[in-house]
Amino acid sequence: MMHFNKSIKAVLFMSMAVLLAPQSWAQFQGDSDAPAVSGNVGILWQSYSEDSLIGAVVPPAKSGYNAFANVNYSQGNFSAGIRYESYLNAIIGFPGRFNGSGLGYRFARYNDPEKGIDITIGNFYDQFGNGLVLRSYELRDLGIDNALDGFRLVLKPTSGVQLKLIYGKQRLDFQDGLINGPGIIRAADAEFDVNALVDKWEDKATKVTLSGSFVSKFQEGSPFSVDSLLLAMPENVAAWSGRLKAIRKKWSLDVEYAGKVNDPNADNGFTFRKGEAFMATLAYSQKGFGALVSAKMVDNMSFRSDRDLQLFDVPINFIPAITQQHTYNLAGTLYPYATVIAGETSASADLFYTIPKGSTLGGKYGTKLAVGFAAANSLDTTPYPEDEQASAVLGFERQSWGPGDELYVRDFNISASRKLNKKWKAKYTYFHFDFNTLTTPVTTDYKGIVNADIHVLETQVKVKPKQSLRTEIQGLWVGQDDNNPDLLQDKGHWATFLAEYTWSPHWSVSLLDQYNYGNNVQANRIHHVFGTVSYVDGPHRLSVGYGKRREGIFCIGGVCRATPASNGFEINFSSRF
């Protein structure tokens, strides 16, 4: 009843804001723009059937249902909106505690660019720099939402200066409505455009932006005992960062350093170490060629508004993965890498080149090449002697920012894509992974380094006007088990076939088959077949699918969630208005 009453109050508040906005804000501005209402709707329903071959089980409700609708109102400088959500029950793979229907997001905002003021009350998302100290975001397909709930004030007092002030709590749960976590977040960010502030720099070819952030979280705590020591649990934990962004002609540089005071939490085993992070990216781009080099060091940068939680709950910050976010089925779902927030040192390099059209290698339409490499290792650390209390309190001592002895991931890939003629396009991609499953536990079948080679051939052909067929043929081969040479690593070899036929602008049909043909266990050499029929009419899309989905990891933007195996129907509807 409490959540229901809160939802009703929120709806009444937003309704009054929408009704009063045309009169009140029009009087304030002296002018009235035409009001506008917009939004979007998403509905996902799945049925489940038992399938002992792939380990699919049927939940008590026998089906899952996720739905949401955003409704936004805007007029002039004023905007307001709500998001109604429904989980009856949540589809498998989502947080099981997401349950019921109610308001999950509501806000009101006044933004006057001319006067340099932007005020938001209610829920909002924001990010400071790369997110090393603050990133509030939503990944709906993964069930991740750490929206802030409170006040945000953005000021632009003069040209080239932007100030942000944030105060609020984070979304943690959903039970017939929004439930926030216990911690309070206080944050400030300042950004200075040096070229706009310094007259002599206004016309300089080099553009420089300097920024700084401060984030503090408060959570009540009680004394904590470690090896007979009684330690005070920090209730106020601060983090900060400094950023430099420079652009000169074809070059760009982005550097950020972040620090955090001692923050004992479930992620670091409640040790009292300080945190530190550094990221640098150098990029070069010109017509037909591009290069990107990145380096990153992370040490104890888990930062949550509730120290007792882990995984995806109430993260204040975000540490992006150094590896590319691969989109092909085998490369993107079997061995996806996520940053080890406890500590890692990593680097990556990517090159892009277009062989000119008309040349021998470029062909009539040109050929696009891409090469990428990324690697992450443990930190260069030394443990404290086991008989010292420092080992329990501080964990370990970092010796340098360089890599340690343990490999976390090594990712190499190369691709070539080319338009063969007016009807045919083709792309070939090769991947090689050295992946530590002890660091990123994407499988329970193998403990150690998996060596995987993946080959992908993608083609697209225009069959008729407005009709096309796209196919993907993928193969993954793993090495031999170090402990047992007669066995293959992990689940062995895989093959994937995808065919997608499109009748533009409305219809499409697709068939996906993931085949674990090289599994060490003969009975587990299973085809995971899933078919989908979709209809699109402008902003409206309806798809119906049926088949098997394997147990695995689903990732978006370097954030991953484990999903159990399933077998059944799926109906997905989305619309914008």
Task: List, as one string, the DSSP characters of 321-373.
Answer: -SS----SHHHHHTS-----TTEEEEEEEEEEEEEPTTSTTTTTT-EEEEEEE
The angle at the Cα of 552, spanning 181 to 338, to the nearest 5 degrees, equals 55
Per-residue confidence of the chain (577 residues) as pLDDT tens digits?
344 344 444 444 444 444 444 444 444 444 457 899 999 999 999 999 998 888 888 888 899 999 999 999 999 999 999 999 999 989 888 876 789 999 999 999 999 999 999 999 999 999 999 999 999 999 888 888 999 999 999 999 999 999 999 999 999 999 999 999 999 999 999 999 999 998 888 888 899 999 999 999 999 876 666 556 667 788 999 999 999 999 999 999 999 999 999 988 888 888 888 999 999 999 999 999 999 999 999 999 999 999 888 878 899 999 988 998 898 999 988 998 888 888 999 999 999 999 999 888 888 899 999 999 999 999 998 877 665 666 667 777 788 888 999 999 999 999 999 999 999 999 999 999 999 999 888 888 889 999 999 999 999 999 999 999 999 999 999 999 988 888 999 999 999 999 999 999 999 999 999 999 999 999 999 999 999 999 999 999 999 999 998 887 766 666 667 778 899 999 999 999 9
User: Among 16, 13, 69, which Cα is nearest to 39's?
Assistant: 69
**Separation CA 88–CA 123 (nearest Å):** 23
Name every residue whose Cβ is closer than 8 Å to that of residue 55 and which is 6 or more positions away in sequence.
551, 564, 565
CA dist 502 → 47, 464, 537 (Å): 26, 10, 14
Token digits of residue 238:
């601060």
**Separation CA 128–CA 186 (nearest Å):** 13
Q: Residue 344's beta-bridge partner residues? A: 298
Q: What are phi and psi of 15, to 5 degrees?
A: -65, -45
Reported as type and span, the H/E element at residue 398 is strand 396-419
**Separation CA 148–CA 125 (nearest Å):** 6
**Separation CA 279–CA 524 (nearest Å):** 43
Q: Where are the domains of the chain?
A: 271-301+321-557
User: Among 214, 24, 36, 235, which Cα is nearest to 134's?
Assistant: 214
Q: What is the dihedral of CA 137, 139, 142, 143, to 10 degrees?
A: 60
**Separation CA 49–CA 66 (nearest Å):** 18
Q: Is 101 exposed, middle or buried (0-12, 13-18, 19+ CB in 10 A)?
A: middle
Q: Which fold has domain 271-301+321-557?
A: Porin (2.40.160)
**Separation CA 434–CA 375 (nearest Å):** 9
Q: Residue 153's beta-bridge partner residues? A: 119, 165
**Separation CA 417–CA 366 (nearest Å):** 9
